[in-house]
Amino acid sequence: MVGAAEEAQLNRLENQVDNGGGGAWEYLCLVRKLKARRPDKVLKHGLSILNNPKARSNLGTEEWTLYEQVAIAAMDCQRVDIAKDCISVLSNKFPGSTRVGRLEGMLLEANGAWADAETTYRRLLEENPNDQVVQKRMIAMAKALGNISTAVEYLNKYLEIYMADQDAWRELAEIYVSLQMYKQAAYCYEELILCQPTVPLHHLAYAEVLYTMGGLENLQMAKKYYASAINFTGGKNTRALYGLCLCSVAINQITKGRNKEDKESPELQYLAAEALVKDYKEKAPAKLTLVTSTLKSMKLIS
C-alpha cells in the first residue's frame, strides 16, 4: 500500500512530467517501486523514452525493465500491438526466460486466449514450481473468467506455502466477502490485522464483516474494532463513526429486555454521534439536517 508522502511525491512528479518538465525516468522508477497502477501515464512517457534512440541508449541495462513496464501498461490500456512489440524485443534478448514467458502469458490473456495462457503458465510452473508471480497470475485468470471457486482453491493452495503474503490474504478476504462466506473472510482479516496491527483499514474491514455477521458477541467485537479504527485515524474516519453508532443501536435492540448490569456505558455512541454532527457541519452542511434527523431517530443525540 502506498503511503501518503509517497503518493504526494508521485503526483508531483506526474504533474511535472505531464507539463513538459523532465524527469520521466524518475517518475517511471517511482511507479515501479510503489507498484502503483497508472497505465496511461506510464504508457505515454515510457513510449516517449523508448522511441527516442538516444534516451533509450542512455538507460543502458535498465532499458529492458522499461520494456517490461511499458508492455504491462500497454496491455492495461488495451494497446495489444504495442505490448506485442515490446515482448518480442524482450524475447529476442532473453530467450527462454521465465520473466518473458510470463509476459507472453499475459499477452495471451489480454487477447482472450485463456486456454493458451493457461498452458503457458502451467509450463512455466513445471520448470519453476515455486514461482510466486506465475501462481498469482493463474489465480487472477481464474477470477477474471468467473471461476471464483477455482480461484479460491488456487489461492488457498498458494497461501499454504506463502502464508506471510499479505496481498494474497487481502485478495482472499475480498473474494470471501463477495461470496458471503463471512466467517472465512473474518479469518483472513484477522490474519491481516496480525501482520499490520496499526493499519486502520484492516480494523475497519474486520468490523464491517463482524457487523454483517450479526449476533451479540460479534456486534460487541465490531464495536470495539470500529472504536480502534477511530482511534487510529484520530476520529476522522466517517465510516467508522457511523459503524459505531449503528453497532450501538443494534446492540441496544438485542439487549433490550436484559439485565441493566450487562449494558455497556453509552458514552461512546454519544461521542461518536457528536463527532459525526461536527464533521458534517464542517464538510457538508447541506446534508446536516439529514444526519441529525437520522441520529435523533436512533436516539443518539437529543
Partner 1 sequence: MAEDLVLDTAIRDWVLIPLSVVMVLIGVLRYFVSKLMRSSQLPDAKALKEGQVIIRARNLKSGANFIPSKSFRARRVYFTNEENGLLHVPKEQAQNAQAQMFSDPNMAMDMMKKNLSMLIPQSLTFAWVNFFFSGFVAAKIPFPLTQRFRAMLQNGIDLSSVDVSYVSSRSW
DSSP, res 92: H
Rounded Cα distance between 105 and 124, Å, is 10
Q: Is 161 in the site for partner 1 (CB under 8 A)?
A: yes
Pick the closer one to partner 1 by CB: 169 or 280: 169
Geometric angle at alpha carbon 171, from 168 and 176, rounded to 5° = 125
Q: Is 87 exposed, middle or buried (0-12, 13-18, 19+ CB in 10 A)?
A: buried
Query: Which residue stretch of 47-55, 72-80, 160-168, 244-252 sits at the interface with partner 1 (rule: CB under 8 A)?
Result: 160-168
The interaxial angle of helices 238-254 and 200-213, nearest 10 deg, is: 30
Q: Is 194 in the site for partner 1 (CB under 8 A)?
A: yes
| In the complex, minimum distance from the CB of residue 164 to partner 1, in angstroms, rounded to a whole number | 4
| In the complex, minimum distance from the CB of residue 204 to partner 1, in angstroms, rounded to a whole number | 13
Rounded Cα distance between 20 and 89, Å, is 28
Per-residue cell: 227: 472504536
Q: Is 214 in the site for partner 1 (CB under 8 A)?
A: no
* Phi, psi of 211, deg, nearest 5: -60, -40
The only residue of 63, 76, 116, 190 in contact with partner 1, by rule CB under 8 A? 190
Q: Is 129 in the site for partner 1 (CB under 8 A)?
A: yes
Q: Is 128 in the site for partner 1 (CB under 8 A)?
A: yes
The only residue of 164, 180, 253, 259 in contact with partner 1, by rule CB under 8 A? 164
Rounded Cα distance between 167 and 160, Å, is 14
Residue type, 38: R
The only residue of 19, 92, 130, 297 in contact with partner 1, by rule CB under 8 A? 130
Q: Is 259 in the site for partner 1 (CB under 8 A)?
A: no
The only residue of 1, 144, 195, 254 in contact with partner 1, by rule CB under 8 A? 195
Pick the closer one to partner 1 by CB: 129 or 266: 129
Pick the closer one to partner 1 by CB: 222 or 275: 222
- Radius of gyration for the chain, computed over Cα atoms and rounded to the nearest angstrom: 25
Query: Which residue stretch of 42-50, 193-201, 237-245, 280-288 sits at the interface with partner 1 (rule: CB under 8 A)?
Result: 193-201
Total residues contacting partner 1 by CB under 8 A comes to 18
DSSP, res 192: H
Query: Which residue stretch of 53-61, 148-156, 162-170, 270-278 sits at the interface with partner 1 (rule: CB under 8 A)?
Result: 162-170
Tell me how far CA of residue 292 lies from CA of 39, 247, 265, 274, in angstroms. Answer: 43, 17, 22, 10
Q: Is 160 in the site for partner 1 (CB under 8 A)?
A: yes
Pick the closer one to partner 1 by CB: 94 or 162: 162
The only residue of 145, 163, 254, 290 in contact with partner 1, by rule CB under 8 A? 163
Per-residue cell: 300: 443518539
Q: Is 187 in the site for partner 1 (CB under 8 A)?
A: yes
Query: Which residue stretch of 44-52, 90-98, 185-193, 274-282 sits at the interface with partner 1 (rule: CB under 8 A)?
Result: 185-193
Pick the closer one to partner 1 by CB: 195 or 254: 195
Please identify which residue in the block is written with the cell numbers 439485565: 259
Q: Is 34 exposed, middle or buried (0-12, 13-18, 19+ CB in 10 A)?
A: middle
Q: Answer yes or no: are the C-beta atoms of 250 and 219 closer than 8 Å.
A: yes
Per-residue cell: 101: 514467458
Applying CB under 8 A, which residues contact partner 1?
Answer: 128-130, 160-165, 187, 190-191, 193-195, 197, 221, 228
